[in-house]
Structure 1
Amino acid sequence: MPTELKMPALSPTMEEGTLAKWLVKEGDDVKSGDILAEIETDKATMEFEAVDEGKIAKILVPEGTDGVKVGAPIAILAGEGEDVSAAAPKADTAPAEAPKAATPAPKPDETPKSAPPPETKGVTPTETPPAPAQPAARPRTEGDRVKASPLARRLAQAQNIDLNALQGSGPDGRIVRADIDAAVGKAPAAAPAGTPAAAPALGGHVVLPGVIEQAIPHEAIKLSNIRKTIARRLTESKQQIPHIYLTVDIQLDALLKLRGELNAGLESRGVKLSVNDLLIKALAQSLIEVPECNVSFAGDQLFKYSRADVSVAVSIPAGLITPIIVGADAKSVSAISTEMKDLAGRAKEGKLQPQEYQGGTASLSNMGMYGIKQFEAVINPPQGMIMAIGAGEKRPYVINDSLQIASVMSATGSFDHRAIDGADGAKLMQAFKRLVENPLGMLA
């Protein structure tokens, strides 16, 4: 009997995904372990493998389809000599339901009763759609000057419309934007409640209603599932987590010297440590030393972790992902370096498995390579803290009661104040500073 291949749940939080690309076509023979498709989840783009062998009899969901629900049939796999006609009706229903979810709200809800004919579209929430043409109740001129809003004047000029020929629908016969739109056959319908109105195009430009009343060149870029997830999670973080920020300046000279010596010794093994590798180790050790910060807030509970799993922010084409160095406190710096290079490389290729980027007890984000001196990172929930690393630079610095020039960086810890008190956060920052300035302690 033919088998339906269904949209898999490739992460615990996945409810729907984008079928980014089919790697097989109808009629292809496949066997267990073959890669059938690439699926974009809420976290990454992942490969979908075949479990059984057979022939791809029918592809139900074309590549590029968004919002495919987990468990929805996406293809039919048939064994040798099997008839797929019995499964065909199911194949027809899947594509029909996909666009239904993306269909806008019915037109009666979008179009106000006073709206002009159906060919009109878009209206700003700040101005009302034009009423049927009728004489103005009051004069619309002040002396020889036509009464019109500044926006209406700019739009009229852009469209070469004579304001004297228009009948205003605003207060006291004032010409407003809706009148200009009506004059060029673009009188828009009101947007659904709670959503921004569509921005009308004006000669390759766009007017952003209620934001900036001017024409701006633009390009509309569709959000990926990853970008949507980043937006949702970081918004929730800033709305729900009371952040507290603590910053310390750290002298880097001893760390840089040790890194050079270690790289000389590791050269024969093909390992080259980065400053970030050493900072991951320092943060992990600090979390073990100050366990009050190795926690996460969970409503009426506080989870305190006995292992330091450090999530490291990595920039990828689709946005940002945080692969995890599991048990970084117990690993050697060379092991951290090797693992980090592998994780970062596969993250940029979209090849990470869910367990490699979900979880973690704290995060580290380093923007020093971009020359950023200091910044405050947003906590990655449900974690309780994130360390933001700035650029190392030569600065005047007091050493042994004398002013000298030293390599110094600023590090800022963002802490969830529901779970971590300011004093405990300060202890973690002190421990981190001490380990970086005396790095041999990390290797003992």
Structure 2
Amino acid sequence: MASLLLMPEIAAGATEAVLCEWLAAENAHLAAGDPVALVETAKAVVEVAVDDDTVLLKLLAAPGETVDVGAPIALLGSRDESGLDHHRMLQALGVPGSVPEPAACVALSEPSGAPSPANPPVHERTRISPLSRALLSRAGLTCDGIVGTGPGGRIVRRDVEAHIAADIETRRQPETQSAPPGRTPPAEVARPRPAVAFEAVPHTRIRRAVAARLTGSKQSTPHFYLRGTCSIDRLLAVRTEINSVLPRKVSVNDLVIKAAARAHTLVPDMNVIWTEDALHRYATVDIAVAVASTRGLVTPVLRNVDTMSVSQIAQTVADRVEAANRGRLRQDDVEGGAFSVTNLGMHGVEEFAAIINPPQSAILAVGMGRPEPHVHDGAVAVATRMRVVLSVDHRAIDGVVAAHWMREFVRHVEAPALLLLNNLSE
């Protein structure tokens, strides 16, 4: 029996999402769990899969189109329904008309009198996705002159981005003024105005979502910060020994994640998030890891990190990074967790403070390790030291709880054998 594939509410509270790409063609046969589309949400690009064995009868949304949550994006059915009248099937399922017509882009003309030279009247309707129309509006352009490369000649995001880039390049050309024949223009007229060199790069949906989410976090979440310093020579030695025997190489950040999970286990009052009605205290330790993917900043979540070995953490992080770069993160890969780890140490950053990623309650910012002098047993010694900054939501966590967590985290980093006690069977 025919059914509709609806745009899912991938991110809690989302009202719309962008359909980035179809992963199957019309009349394709799909098994339960097969991915059918890539959808860009406020957090990442994720796959949408079908629940049952089915046939993709009709696509109802074009790549690059912004679709409301709950709106139909495809018509599904059986093999026997492939040759039937899809128009009638859609009407029977309550879809008005037939396949929803793409939103039209109509060039504006003056309400009365002669049309403005900058906006000549256009009497034909151009097929364009809502996302593309919004990008044009933000750039102050119209769809006039754009040749659509989407289905049926529809203007999609890549067409608009190319049009915006061409417009920027055109405006970069120096403005010149020519004088009438036989007349020399004054110096101040003949001198070209210097062009300001810049490139307007349209915001991606992920970039806009990150900006909105973190702005809201800083405005509404009362942050406080704890700074700690770890001696990591023993951690580096253990890492070298582990990597000499394990096929999957372990990074310093993998060991940091394990130490954070162990601290969460020992200080369960850190494993909470704030809601307006109650604190949510989690039974498992799920940690988000900030990843600067080729598609933007994403924070995939590692599940049950408290029960994972360091090699399992390393493998899972590598899998999440690859999925993020390919735009193949699933919905459950980016949801949940009460805590994040972000590491800029590999980029030479000594210390920094991060903004909490809502609705989580804390984030650990990890700097680089470097040799420096410090006092040990009354004598000055040189050790590799790593600075960390813990940002905490004071609504959910008190300072003393965060201090206990920091103490346990530093203790485990400085005694890394503690991180391997449950992994001897590896």
Q: With the length of structure 2 as denominator, give the TM-score of the two structures.
A: 0.72
Structure 2 stretches lacking a partner, 5+ long:
120-136, 142-166, 174-193, 422-426
* Structure 1 residues 119 and 275: alpha-carbon distance in aligned structure 2, compared to 1, 3 A threshold: same
Question: 1:58 deviation in Å?
Answer: 4.1
Aligned to 1:70: 69
Letter in 2 for 1:285: R
Shift, 1:413, TM fit? 0.4
Q: How does 1:284-363 map to 2 (within 5 A)?
A: 284-363=261-340
Q: 1:204 aligns with which of 144, 148, 171?
A: 171
Q: Shift in Å at residue 229 of structure 1?
A: 2.0
Contact 2:47 2:331 in 1 (8 A): no
Asked if 2 retains the 8 angstrom alpha-carbon contact of 1:255 and 1:437, the reply is yes
Q: What letter is aligned with 2:259?
A: A
RMSD: 3.5
**Contact 1:2–1:83 under 8 Å retained in 2:** no
Looking at structure 1, the residues matched to 277 and 12 of structure 2 have their Cα atoms a distance apart, in angstroms, of 23
1:267-278 correspondence to structure 2 within 5 Å: 267=246, 270-278=247-255
Query: Alpha carbons of 1:25 and 1:385: their partners in 2 closer, same or farther (altered >3 Å)?
Result: closer
2:209 counterpart of 1:237: no
1:262–1:9 CA distance, 2 compared to 1 (3 A): same
Q: CA deviation at 1:341?
A: 2.0
Larger Rg: 1
Deviations along 1:360-381, one digit per CA (max 9) or x if unpaired, are 1211111111111111011011
Q: Contact (CA 8 Å) 1:60, 1:92: kept in 2 or not?
A: no
Asked whether the equivalents of residues 21 and 64 of structure 2 are also in contact (C-alpha less than 8 Å), the reply is: yes
CA distance in structure 2 between the partners assigned to 1:22 and 1:319 by the alignment: 21
SS in 2 for 1:247: strand
The equivalent position to 2:232 in structure 1, one of 223, 247, 252, is 252
Deviations 1:17-52 (A, max 9, x none): 2221234444x3423345433222333223334456
Moved more, 10-19 or 425-434: 10-19
Q: Which residue in 1 is equivalent to 2:31?
A: 32
Residue number in structure 1 paired with 2:18: 18
Distance 2:276 2:63 in 1: 41
Using the TM superposition, give the Cα deviation of residue 416 of structure 1 relative to its aligned residue in structure 2, in angstroms: 0.8
Task: Output the CA distance in 2 between the equivalents of 1:202 and 1:312.
Answer: 38
SS at match of 2:319: helix
Describe how 1:9-408 pairs up with structure 2 within 5 A.
Answer: 9-26=9-26, 28-33=27-32, 34-50=34-50, 57-65=57-65, 67-77=66-76, 79-80=79-80, 81-87=83-89, 90=95, 95-96=100-101, 99=103, 118-119=116-117, 204-205=171-172, 216-264=196-244, 266-267=245-246, 270-408=247-385
Q: Deviations over 1:232-263 (max 9, x none)?
A: 21111101001111111211111111112222
Change (3 A) 1:69 1:244: same
Q: Secondary structure at the match of 1:17?
A: strand
Percent identity among equivalent residues? 36
User: Structure 1 pair 253/201, CA: closer, same or farther in 2 (3 Å)?
Assistant: closer
Deviations 1:336-368 (A, max 9, x none): 222222222222222222222211121111111
CA distance in structure 1 between the aligned counterparts of 2:321 and 2:139, rounded to whole angstroms: 40
CA distance in 2, matches of 1:53, 1:421: 50
TM-score by length of 1: 0.69
**Distance in 2 (alpha carbons) for counterparts of 1:431 and 1:336:** 20
Q: For residue 442 of structure 1, what is the amino acid of its counterpart?
A: L
Partner secondary structure for residue 198 of structure 2: coil
